[in-house]
Structure 1
Amino acid sequence: MSGIGKRLTDAGLALPEPMTPPPGLEFNFELVRISGQYAYLSGHGPYDGTHPLVQGTVGAELSVEQGYAAAGQAALSMLASLQQVLGDLDRVTNWLKADVSVNAVPGFAHTTLVANGFSDLILNLWGPAGRHARSAPGVAALPFNIPVVVDAVVEITG
């Protein structure tokens, strides 16, 4: 088992099925695009395969804590896609940038607290190599009414 795989297990976490388009839709983009020593990750939400794990707007149907948990689930979804493409999460050597869009009510001022659900999980797994630049805008809506979408850039080996 890889180092990151062991840390996931030790934390009691498991990767979901990698995101796939819902029936009747096709992705016309790649979830993970490799270029040189970088992997560019398309937006991932809290999904298990085609199924959203949580839906709703933070500040209305969902609390900050529920949004935080959804951001962690989005991180696991992203890791499932990375695992599928790279074969081993230990190939990720540095997390460089993450954009966490939060589906929130107008005036919601705690998007960074929600986004911490993503960042905390990555930092817990990668340690200092998990520190990344980040933005966390609030948005009026996200696909399928999911509460967060995260895209990222990571540095990889081999």
Structure 2
Amino acid sequence: MAHIEQKLADLGLVLPEPVKLPPDVRLPFSLVNIRERRVFVSGHGPQNDDGSIAGPFGKLGKDVTVEEGYELARKTALSMLASLKRELMDLDRIQAWCRVFGMVNCAPEFTQQPAVINGFSDLIYELFGPEAGRHARSAVGMAALPMGDGIAVEIEAEVLID
């Protein structure tokens, strides 16, 4: 078993199945776009193991707690890793996480977006270590995010591969 996948197993974490979207949602783009060594990863949301979109849904600071948001960001990391695994076949090909852009569906007065997106960053650092896992990051609030009542977190990224 590959190094990163072994770490996931040791943590008791599972990569989800491909995303199961509502019938009215169409994605006319690639979730993972490879350009030489650069890999651009489209916005991902949290998923359950079966590929369904994970909740709770709604706005941080109103419907969803910071702790729940942190866990949703962590699930979003697993969702993204699953897409990367399907494209790259081996997560150990990832040499560096370059950039992460975290979007948080939040009430106007909510200001803890970084604490929410830490769920993503913490897992990436845990799996890839302080050198390959180190990344530049933004964590911003959004008035709304897609899917039903609105997913609470969406994250996109850029990685380098061998």
Name the counterpart of 1:117: 119
Letter of the 1:6 partner, please give it: Q
Give the conservation status (yes or no) of the 8 Å contact 1:101–1:137: yes
How far off is 1:47 after superposition? Answer: 2.0
Letter of the 1:18 partner, please give it: P
Give the conservation status (yes or no) of the 8 Å contact 1:111–1:138: yes
Percent identity (aligned): 48
Name the counterpart of 2:52: 51
Q: Which runs of 4+ in 1 moved over 4 A?
A: none
Name the counterpart of 2:106: 104
The question of 1:133 aligning with 2:162 is answered no
How far off is 1:56 after superposition? Answer: 1.8
TM-score by length of structure 1 reads 0.95
* Correspondence 1:1-158 to 2 at 5 A: 1-48=1-48, 51-54=52-55, 55-128=57-130, 129-144=132-147, 145-157=150-162
Alpha-carbon separation, structure 1, partners of 2:20 and 2:28: 12
Give the conservation status (yes or no) of the 8 Å contact 1:22–1:50: no
Alpha-carbon separation, structure 1, partners of 2:77 and 2:102: 10
TM-score by length of structure 2 reads 0.93
Give the conservation status (yes or no) of the 8 Å contact 2:61–2:109: no
Give the conservation status (yes or no) of the 8 Å contact 1:32–1:39: yes
Alpha-carbon separation, structure 2, partners of 1:111 and 1:25: 26
- Give secondary structure in 2 for the equivalent of 1:51: coil
Question: What is the aligned-residue RMSD (CA, Å)?
Answer: 1.2
Letter of the 2:125 partner, please give it: L
Give the conservation status (yes or no) of the 8 Å contact 2:100–2:136: yes
- Give secondary structure in 2 for the equivalent of 1:120: helix
Letter of the 2:17 partner, please give it: E
Letter of the 1:153 partner, please give it: E
Show structure 1 runs of 5+ residues with no match: none
Alpha-carbon separation, structure 2, partners of 1:146 and 1:24: 16
